[in-house]
């Protein structure tokens, strides 16, 4: 089952990357929906491991995605789905096994019917749409996207791990909001990276980041990180403002979203402290 979790993690991430790099509306829609389904499979398998008391982690292999044609990556995703199906024999939950198996059956069929397309997500053009940025602004945008796309992937996995190991409905509501928000940011930044020809798979997360022993301290540190991210967004907005109102307003939009994330994390800290005093 641990191998099943790893292979599902890899298939989800590969499918998400394929969705980010696609420029065909229908392909992007299908791949995004299938990546969402694979993510749900991942969380269901994880919950089954927890219920059975099996130790696990989020380690995975590197995922090569640098292709010139989408069909090459789709073939690899189908191969990954075949590996998952072979591992399903180890799943003792018959309902879960049948759900995953039938989902995979349809997804492989649908992927085989997608229209092939040329991929531009790795050509290093470093241009976003037709916006003319100077070298300094382009460099700042590039660095921001690499750092923030990894951070958002990291936060998805951390908050998912915390939620999976918590039976506190108040905290789980907050964790789920933060997961959903990080998914939106990851997809937004990933699509920008694909447009600029610099798309990359986030690196593997070390266990020490998500196997958190002091959740309150983690949240307090997270608040500081969000405040720093807000400043990065503000600086980036300022850097591109004279060249692109669209980009400036987008990064202001992300900046303002961080305000609510900070408030949610403060609520979670207050909740932890109240629980501790009651205990």
What is the chain's length? Answer: 279
pTM here?
0.94
Over residues 11-57, the pLDDT tens digits come to 999 999 999 999 999 999 999 999 999 999 999 999 999 999 999 99
More confident residue, 122 or 241: 122
What pLDDT, on a 0 to 100 scale, did the predictor assign at position 17?
98
pLDDT above 90: residue 160: yes
Query: For domain 122-279, is the CATH number 1.20.1260.10?
Result: yes
Q: DSSP string of 191-217?
A: HHHHHTT---PPPPPPHHHHS-S-HHH
* 134 contacts 47 by C-beta, under 8 angstroms: no
As a whole number of angstroms, the distance between CA 14 and CA 111 comes to 13
**Nearest one of 246, 252, 257, 245 to 184, comparing CA atoms:** 257
Query: How much is the pLDDT for 279?
Result: 61
All CATH 1.20.1260.10 domain ranges in the chain, comma separated: 1-119, 122-279
Q: Over the stretch 102-139, which tens digit does the pLDDT of each residue have?
A: 999 999 999 999 999 999 999 999 998 888 888 888 99
Homologous superfamily (CATH) for 1-119? Ferritin, core subunit, four-helix bundle (1.20.1260.10)
Q: What share of the chain is helix, strand, coil (3-state, %, to 5)?
A: 75, 0, 25
Q: How far apart are the first and last CA of the chain?
A: 36
pLDDT digits (tens, 9 = 90+) for 54-109: 999 999 999 999 999 999 999 999 999 999 999 999 888 999 999 999 999 999 99
Which pLDDT does position 103 carry in this prediction? Answer: 98
Tell me the percentage of the chain whose pLDDT exceeds 70: 100
């Amino acid at each position: 089952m641990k191998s099943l979790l790893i292979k599902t993690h890899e298939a989800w991430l590969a499918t998400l990357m394929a969705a980010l790099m696609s420029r065909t509306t229908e392909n992007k829609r299908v791949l995004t929906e299938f990546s969402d389904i694979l993510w749900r499979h991942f969380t269901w398998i994880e919950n089954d491991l927890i219920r059975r008391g099996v130790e696990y982690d989020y380690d995975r292999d590197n995922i090569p995605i640098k292709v010139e044609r989408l069909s090459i990556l789709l073939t690899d995703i189908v191969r990954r789905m075949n590996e998952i199906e072979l591992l399903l024999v180890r799943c003792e939950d018959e309902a879960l096994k049948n759900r995953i198996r039938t989902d995979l059956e349809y997804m492989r069929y649908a992927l085989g019917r997608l229209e092939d397309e040329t991929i531009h997500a790795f050509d290093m053009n470093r241009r976003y749409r037709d916006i003319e940025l100077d070298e300094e602004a382009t460099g700042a945008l590039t660095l921001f996207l690499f750092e923030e796309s990894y951070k958002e992937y990291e936060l998805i996995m951390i908050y998912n791990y915390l939620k999976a190991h918590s039976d506190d409905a108040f905290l789980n509501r907050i964790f789920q909001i933060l997961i959903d928000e990080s998914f939106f940011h990851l997809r937004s930044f990933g699509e920008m990276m694909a447009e600029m020809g610099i798309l990359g798979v986030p690196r593997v997360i070390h266990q020490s980041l998500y196997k958190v022993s002091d959740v309150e301290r983690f949240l307090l540190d997270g608040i500081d990180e969000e405040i720093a991210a807000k400043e990065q967004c503000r600086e980036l907005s300022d850097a591109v403002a004279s060249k692109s109102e669209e980009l400036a307003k987008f990064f202001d939009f992300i900046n303002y979203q961080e305000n609510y994330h900070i408030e949610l994390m403060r609520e979670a800290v207050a909740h932890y402290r109240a629980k501790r005093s009651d205990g």
